[in-house]
Amino acid sequence: MKKKKLAGAFLSLTLAAGVLAGCSGGSGSSEKSSGEGETIKIGVNLELSGGVASYGQSIAEGLELATAEINKEGIDGKKIKLIKVDNKSEASEATSGAIKLTSQDQVTAIVGAATSTNTIAQVQIAQDNKVPVISPSGTSPEITYKDDKLNDYIFRTSFIDPFQGTVAANFATSEVKAKSAAIYIDSASDYSKGLAAAFKEQFIANGGKIVREEAYIAKDTDFRSTLTRLKSAKPDFIFLPGYYEEAGLIVKQARETGLDVPFMGGDGWDSPKLIEIAGAKALNNTFITNHYSSGDPDEKIQNFVSAFKAKYKDKSPDAFNALGYDTGYYLADAIKRAGSTDSEKIKDALEKTKDLELVTGTFTLDEKHNPIKSATILEFKDGKQVFNTKINPE
């Protein structure tokens, strides 16, 4: 009952906002009509504090840059207004943030969250209230498609886990020439498990052997015992699809334990804190798959890099900055094509995105709401991420 009321209230507001396109059932309310047409309210539900705060803050910076650029001309004369909530890197806070944005602020769409777990926490709210949610960097397949069912209001800007895991496995086989690999996952994270599953499948298909699988739980600090155990299995390569806090500690402790083989992770490693925690030396001979590299010579990327540096005191943008920026343009493109701020029409427009040129690659959406785009492989050399190679989807 309460949900219906919420949805009804939301629908009438969007109607009142000058959208009216032959929809039925929203009769009765016309308050708040004037003034609302000038701005498009976009909710931002990000990890601005807590364990993965650096992702959320980076996305917010990128998104703000994109919004500022888009607002110079506006979308059909309307300007985007961002309404931010901090989900403190916790799933329960992400859910309540989504409730606040949909019911209290009545936003047109939500950007966020940065991690898969916190995005999944918003799915039900978005579906019930019919508000599109775009996760800039949630890479778990289950966000948009779970149990053979499409969450039709959920979108993403990043590629999905299986793709990162597959790329990592191909890289391990063809570039590192690894015959055996070990997998060390964060058992508290959907993201980590997703990458590991895809890596395992592809690595075995490439003729490799998985010699050991171990797990830790986020917030652990002592990994030496497990690393000693991993070392005794003598793998050529270790796949470590965790987040930067633990990944940094693990790489550091691994090197101290005398485990010197290449490590590889996903975009969850991408944070300056990783280098602080692990130390530049320990990170040599480690690789990550990522969405983009600021060292990529592509012209569109270099334009973005210089615009970003101009706005944020010469800071070089990371992948989360780029994804935040792209999410802004992805959404703006859909709103423009929808020709309205009606959530349902924006959803349809998002679905039809094709060959949209963005910083993190030219992308087309597949039927599971997953972008088909390229992945970049970066190597850590003395504490710096160096562009290694770019792998395009087949």
| Cβ–Cβ < 8 Å for 355, 94 | no
Q: Which parts of 103-132 interact with other proteins (CB under 8 A)?
A: none
Asked whether position 383 contacts other proteins by CB under 8 A, the answer is no
Least distance (Å) from other proteins to the CB of residue 286? 16
Q: Are 85 and 44 in contact (CB under 8 A)?
A: yes
- Taking the complex as a whole, the smallest distance from the CB of residue 60 to other proteins amounts, in Å, to 14
| Coil, helix or strand at residue 250 | helix
Total site size for other proteins, rule CB under 8 A: 32
> Would you call 184 helix, strand, or coil by DSSP?
strand
Closer of 71 and 257 to other proteins (Cβ): 257
Question: Residues 61, 326: contact at Cβ < 8 Å?
Answer: no
264, 171 contact by CB (below 8 A): yes
CB nearer other proteins, residue 36 or residue 245: 245
Q: Tell me phi and psi for residue 190, to 5 degrees.
A: -60, -40
Q: How far is the CB of 178 from other proteins (least distance, A)?
A: 22
Q: Which 3 state secondary structure label does DSSP give 298?
A: coil
CA distance 311 to 192: 33
241-300: which residues touch other proteins (CB under 8 A)?
A: 245, 248-249, 252, 256-258, 273, 276-277, 279
Dmax of the chain from CA atoms?
A: 71
46-65 footprint of other proteins as x/- string (CB under 8 A): ---xxx-xx-----------
Minimum gap (Å) between residue 249 Cβ and other proteins = 6
Residues in 74-93 that interact with other proteins by CB under 8 A:
88-89
CB 215 → other proteins: shortest distance, Å?
5
**Which ranges constitute the DSSP H helices of 258-342?**
272-278, 299-311, 319-338
What residues pair up with 135 in beta bridges, in sequence order? 156
The number of residues in the chain equals: 394
Closer residue to other proteins (CB): 41 or 212: 212
Binding site for other proteins (CB under 8 A): 49-51, 53-54, 88-89, 187, 214-217, 219, 221-222, 224-226, 228-229, 232, 245, 248-249, 252, 256-258, 273, 276-277, 279
